[in-house]
Amino acid sequence: MEIIYQDNRILVCLKPFGVVSTDEPGGLPDLVRQSLGGGAQCVRTVHRLDQVVGGVMVLARSRAAARILSEQVAARQFEKEYLAVLEGVPEYDEGELRDLLGRDKAKKLTYVAVAPGKDVREAVLRYRLLDSRDGFSLVKIHLLTGRTHQIRCQFSSRGLPLAGDCKYGAQHREMEGIGLWSHLIAFRHPQTDAPVSFQAPPPRTWPWTLFPALWTEEERA
């Protein structure tokens, strides 16, 4: 777990693959407290990433900051951008995916619903194809809603499961986590109200290493 920014109201870090976002032993807030020296420090989760997903996250360091950031998330004023490696190549280089998603709680799976119903909610994302090679595609995703397993389900339903995501139909599983990385977050600072953004490239491991320009562009920035 790497901390990339902190002040007295927020802390921004890179969540490792395999770590839960929730506040429990071994969860991200717990790891952050340990890195800060332990003790009962206020570290609160305001948004989540699946356990198998890694990348940039912000945590609040006060109740007031947690409330303000949570309000931004609820009002869709919290920008989230992801990088994903898909098995296959999208039909279009860019587009918007809009679906009704339901949740099978027994199987812990999200599915595309054919009609509105109880616990069925609209899910929207926009994507842009960055590169494709060896049967895999690198896409940038702008998430407009935040449904459980939204990105994983929406691409899988179109025959494009995320690399390593066997839960949603992927064929390849020789990796840590899945091919989904929280690349960028942007919001208004809870103390100053100034717009801030943070980003980081994915780790130099497969399948990300199929696309070396990821780090070339980062080094140029």
Q: Where are the domains of the chain?
A: 2-220
Q: Is 128 exposed, middle or buried (0-12, 13-18, 19+ CB in 10 A)?
A: middle
Where are the alpha helices (H) located in 20-178, listed in sequence order? 28-35, 63-74, 150-156
Q: Name the pLDDT band for 176 (thresholds 50, 70, 90).
A: confident
pLDDT tens digit sequence for 158-175: 999 999 999 999 987 778
Nearest by Cα to 153 from 50, 4, 19 = 50
Q: Name the pLDDT band for 203 (thresholds 50, 70, 90).
A: very high
* Secondary structure (3-state) at 196: strand
pLDDT tens digit sequence for 25-39: 999 999 999 999 887
Q: Can the peptide bond before residue 207 be classed as cis, meaning omega within 30 degrees of 0?
A: yes
CATH number, span 2-220: 3.30.2350.10
Q: What's the whole-number average pLDDT of the chain?
A: 94
Taking the complete model, does pTM exceed 0.75, yes or no?
Answer: yes
Q: Please give the single-letter amino acid code of residue 158.
A: R
